[in-house]
Amino acid sequence: MRVALLSDIHGNLLALEAALREIATQRVDQLACLGDTTLAGPQPSACAQRVRELGCPTVQGNCDVLALRLRAEGPTPELMGAYTRFGAWVAEIDLWSARALTDEDAAWLAALPLAITLPLDDAGATLLCVHGSPQSFNHRLAPDTPEEQLAERVGSVRATALASGHTHIPMLWRLGDLTIVNPGSIGLPMATDDSGAVYNPAEYAEYGILTWEAGALGWEPRRVALDASAVRAAALESGMPHADRWRGDWTVG
């Protein structure tokens, strides 16, 4: 069994299509999406439509719900308070993204489940797919998460493996009998430069392939090269605000 895992597409259609082209060559049996399909990128509606066309199991992410709230409520003080970490420019991108969604996009996002269990074989091996943790799509399961907190957030999961997104950081972790994987981000992968600034490279997209064969679990983090100039041009052509900064430094507001 080979399962390709996508996560955190964030409205980046060029990155999504590049990943799908590579996945088509990888003899994959199943495709699954770990959420955050639309918000914060130049092609939010097109990405929602593309994932719907794939018909793959998809879970709801925190930004999926945020997109729905921004679309319905607008820039309320409560919602804008969530952008203190990043700054007003990120809020303006997200508002634009949310307003670009169609009614069909919104209905699809609202109906997504918080978790999906996929069978890996006929003997009971399973893969639990969530966006953050089994308890909340806002939980970070990251390489620097203390093991005690990781165990608390994972809880008593009865699965062979747990697939989690949200952090935009690829991960492979063993917690007791449970294997936790994170495929990174299709649309907004995270990197740190020599100065310690966090930025989103335009040069690649990330996904992962989980394998299960004869009782053995395998994990392949994958990175797909992108034409950075094409990614930036698509953002500029979309009319998205702050398109020139979108793939730059996200450390300060």
Residue 131 burial (C-beta neighbours within 10 Å; 0-12, 13-18, 19+): buried
Domain-embedded: residue 159: yes
Q: What is the pLDDT of residue 253?
A: 47
For residue 132, the one-letter residue type is: G
Domain-embedded: residue 144: yes
Domain-embedded: residue 59: yes
* CATH number assigned to the domain comprising residue 178: 3.60.21.10
Domain-embedded: residue 248: no
Instruction: Collect the ranges in the chain with pLDDT lower than 70.
Output: 248-253
Alpha-carbon distance values, 196 to 125, 190, 246, 247 (Å): 40, 12, 18, 16
The whole-model pTM stands at 0.95
Domain-embedded: residue 211: yes
Domain-embedded: residue 249: no
Q: What is the pLDDT of residue 82?
A: 85
Asked if 46 and 52 touch (Cβ cutoff 8 Å), the reply is no
- Domain encompassing residue 154: 2-238
Domain-embedded: residue 245: no
Domain-embedded: residue 98: yes
Q: How many domains does the structure of the chain reveal?
A: 1
Q: For 9-65, how does the pLDDT look when each residue is reduced to its tens digit (9 = 90+)?
A: 999 999 999 999 999 999 999 999 999 999 999 999 999 999 999 999 999 999 999
Radius of gyration of the chain (CA): 17
